[in-house]
Amino acid sequence: MGDAGARNKSESVLKETLVSVIVPAFNAEATIGQTLASIAGQSHRNIEILIVDDGSTDTTRDVARTFCASEPRARLLPKVNGGVASARNHGIAEAKGRYVALIDADDLWHPDHIAKCLAVAQNSGCAMVFSCHHIIDAANIIIRSGVQTIVQGMAVHRLAYINLVSNGSALLLDRAAALAVGGYDERLRAAGVEGCEDYLLQLGMAARGPIAMVPEYLVGYRQRGDAMSSDAERMTASNIFAGELFRKETPQLSIPDTIWRWRRAKASLALARYRLRRGRFGGSLVSLATAFWHDPVGTVAAIHYDFRRVFRLVARGSSGSAPVVHSFAAADPAMAIGAAPIDQFDRPGWLARIEQARMAHLTDLDNALAAPIS
């Protein structure tokens, strides 16, 4: 068979691959309709859509039923409320596809999200693939872009340091591999720190084999004041709990303690900023002191960056220039939208140089992992 024949066969296999889309939903009546529309509009047509209603008390279930009545690929899976991890696990258990794609009931996908993630998964053999995301508001306007970190291969050290995916709606997973790591961990909800179940699963997947990403902005990750992810207090506690669980249960990885300290400092800094914006100065100082304790150099560099950022924003505001409005639906998926970083690539600042050095070191550690961790 020639190159053209092999390519055509590969494309045919790709189109025939069933992907199970799992939509956990709880009281999402305001947004789930748009989410489901973005799923139905995927260019990869061979999908099943599993809407897991997690005991909603609003009209979410009615919206889902109406959608299923007009979309033969969709099924509604009602259950008693058990949290997002329980809902995702229920969807994975019911899924028929080799791959599962997860999306929360308030987020959006670019039409090519599944197709491009699936192509990378099959070409690379990776069991976990993700794309980049824009953060959007209630009107689907892009607020800013998530950080794009190119990764393909073993990446557990980098993922232990920083959440490379940053949201639960960007993932395409090999279903068998997701089940092998236990799916989404429901212990976080039981401990009162629900929120980072997706991050913990990503760590487990990265510990067992290579991962890959699509360097395009194919997810609209919605920022809402009432969303779980907007509660920085709980999300920080969840982040720390998830990291400690993973660290305790994977001693064979021997991830250096320094990485966990860097990671804890980042979480504490984010919490310090959150508390400061809300006028909780005492709590902010406590979080800042925690960050200093775990990573003094990185913390000083981050504070320096914050001061520069504030100065830049003030200077830009005085110029009177209005921000350009970009709708997620019309945005170029290859383009990051939002304010340019202060630490430009040609003249990186102190924080950028530290981050570049750390990521290079962690990449070396990842590359040294000769085989997946069993």
* Buried-exposed string 276-304: b where 16+ CB fall within 10 A, e elsewhere: beeeeeebbeebbebbbebbeebbebbbe
Phi, psi torsion values for 319, nearest 5 degrees: -80, -15
Distance from C-alpha of 360 to C-alpha of 100, rounded to nearest angstrom: 31
> Domain for residue 324, yes or no?
yes
Residue 228 lies in a domain: yes
Token pair in block for residue 244: 């400690």
Rounded to two decimals, the pTM is: 0.90
Give domain status of residue 16, yes or no: no
Start-to-end C-alpha separation, the chain: 37
Which SS3 state, helix, strand or coil, does residue 330 take?
helix
Q: What is the pLDDT along the chain (374 residues), one digit of tens a residue?
A: 556 555 555 666 778 999 999 999 999 999 999 999 999 999 999 999 999 999 999 999 999 999 999 999 999 999 999 999 999 999 999 999 999 999 999 999 999 999 999 999 999 999 999 999 999 999 999 999 998 888 999 999 999 999 999 999 999 999 999 999 999 999 999 999 999 999 999 999 999 999 999 999 999 999 876 554 458 899 999 999 999 999 999 999 999 999 999 999 999 999 999 999 999 999 999 999 999 999 999 999 999 988 887 887 777 665 445 567 899 999 999 999 876 667 665 567 889 999 999 999 999 999 998 555 54
- The Cβ of residue 319 has, within 10 Å, a number of other Cβ atoms equal to 6
Q: How many domains does the chain have?
A: 1
The answer to the question of residue 264 being in a domain is yes
In a domain, 339, yes or no: yes
Range of the domain at 344: 108-374
- Residue 21 in any domain: the answer is no
Taking a C-beta distance cutoff of 8 angstroms, is the pair 236, 271 a contact? Answer: yes
Assigned domain for 43 exists:
no
| Contact predicate 178/201, CB 8 Å | yes
Within-domain flag for 361? yes
- Please name every residue paired with 79 in a beta bridge, in sequence order, or none if there are none: 54
